[in-house]
Amino acid sequence: MIENLANTLIPIILLVLVGVILSKFGILKDESIRLLNKIVLYVSIPALTFLTAFNLNFGMFNQFWAFTVTSLIVGILGGAIVFGIAIIGKMDLKRKWGIVIPVVFGSTTFTALPLVTSLYNQVNLVSAIKFYDFTSYIFLILLNVILVLVLSSKNNLNGATDGDDSCNFCGSIVGKIFLYPIFLAFILGIIANFIGLPKFSILVDTLGYLAALAIPVLSLVIGAALKFDKITDWLLSTGVSIIKIVIVPIIALVCFVTFGISSLELNIGLISAAVPSGLATMAISIDNNLDYAVTAKIILISIILSLITLPLLTMFI
């Protein structure tokens, strides 16, 4: 189990280190980071989103609904806790959201799937993890809506509110929300799923290759975005990471017990909740010009800490 976890997470840490080195040598600069991020956000993640929605067996929702609902609850509550801390700390808008989004959802399928399959030899339980992770794409869409509304309102407080300017402003917001590539991929994937679109191997394989770009590219971007100048940022990021991989699973435990799922499903749900922050949160942070340096720190620290906390969790379940 520990070997599978290490084989999953340590390569990410090494890729982050490569990103740090490339940044130090001036190979990965800010403009390069933003370019790579656009490729991931507008091509790779939409491809992954479509495949997830296309391949998910919605007929099993009655069996695994508690995983989806719990994932939504812990994402909202975990984000709310960190948002409250940000308000108390009087953080600016970009820093506030830069520390909130890594707590909202984690790298569930990427991290939990190999760990669960190494512990439990039951294929049907893979669907439980997928239903838990399905909310990640919902959160990606919702976060885009929230950030578009919040940041657009802030940037246009002194702008015109009547006439053509107002119409253009509203049209721009609507476009950013409903033409968001991840949103479009999500809707198209669900439609393709429900109409029973044939799974043409060429199409699926091509989308699979595009989706596979996300993890290595974002790992390099995280490394390039790291800054080592402020110890307070690292302390803050460590605290937020602990909320993600310790407090969030506790909230999930309460939810799962309340929903009365089986002990085996409870174990899988807790592992799904205890994974580190999702790499995709880095793409959102950069795209919205948030404090992505602190987002990168939270993601990295949560990955490192989960190498300790996930094995400890499996010892007690």
Place 249 in a pLDDT band, splitting at 50, 70 and 90. Answer: very high
Q: Is 277 helix (H, G, I), strand (E, B) or coil?
A: strand
Q: Is the dihedral of CA 110, 114, 119, 125 positive or negative?
A: positive
Q: Which of 20-24, 119-123, 295-299 has the lowest mean pLDDT?
A: 119-123
- The span from the CA of 97 to the CA of 93, in Å, is 6
Q: Could you read off the pLDDT of 65-105 as tens digits, one per residue?
A: 999 999 999 999 999 999 999 999 999 999 999 999 999 98
* Total count of domains within the chain: 1
**106-121: average pLDDT:** 81
- The span from the CA of 6 to the CA of 12, in Å, is 10
**275-289: average pLDDT:** 95
Place 108 in a pLDDT band, splitting at 50, 70 and 90. Answer: confident
Q: Which of 43-47, 224-228, 312-316 has the lowest mean pLDDT?
A: 312-316
Q: How far is CA 232 from CA 16, 31, 97, 236, 239, in A?
A: 21, 26, 17, 6, 11
Q: Which of 1-10, 76-85, 256-265 has the lowest mean pLDDT?
A: 1-10
* CATH number of the domain residue 42 falls in: 1.20.1530
Q: Which domain holds residue 290?
A: 2-316
Amino acid present at 280: A
Q: Is the dihedral of CA 89, 91, 95, 101 positive or negative?
A: positive
Residue 144 has pLDDT above 80, yes or no: yes
Q: Give the pLDDT confidence score for residue 250 in this predicted structure.
A: 97
Tokens standing for residue 184: 């479009």
Task: Tell me the residue length of the chain.
Answer: 317
Q: How far is CA 97 from CA 45, 103, 146, 156, 239, in A?
A: 20, 10, 10, 19, 15
- The span from the CA of 31 to the CA of 72, in Å, is 34
What percentage of the chain carries pLDDT values higher than 90? Answer: 76
- The span from the CA of 275 to the CA of 71, in Å, is 12
Closest CA to 213 of 41, 52, 50, 18: 41
Place 166 in a pLDDT band, splitting at 50, 70 and 90. Answer: low
Amino acid present at 281: T
Q: Is the dihedral of CA 216, 217, 220, 225 positive or negative?
A: negative
Q: Which of 151-155, 157-161, 293-297, 301-305 has the lowest mean pLDDT?
A: 157-161
Longest Cα separation, the chain: 63
**49-77: average pLDDT:** 95
Closest CA to 291 of 82, 141, 109, 108: 82
Q: Is 157 helix (H, G, I), strand (E, B) or coil?
A: coil
Q: Which of 147-161, 220-234, 300-314 has the lowest mean pLDDT?
A: 147-161
Contact status, residue 107 vs residue 278, Cβ threshold 8 Å: yes
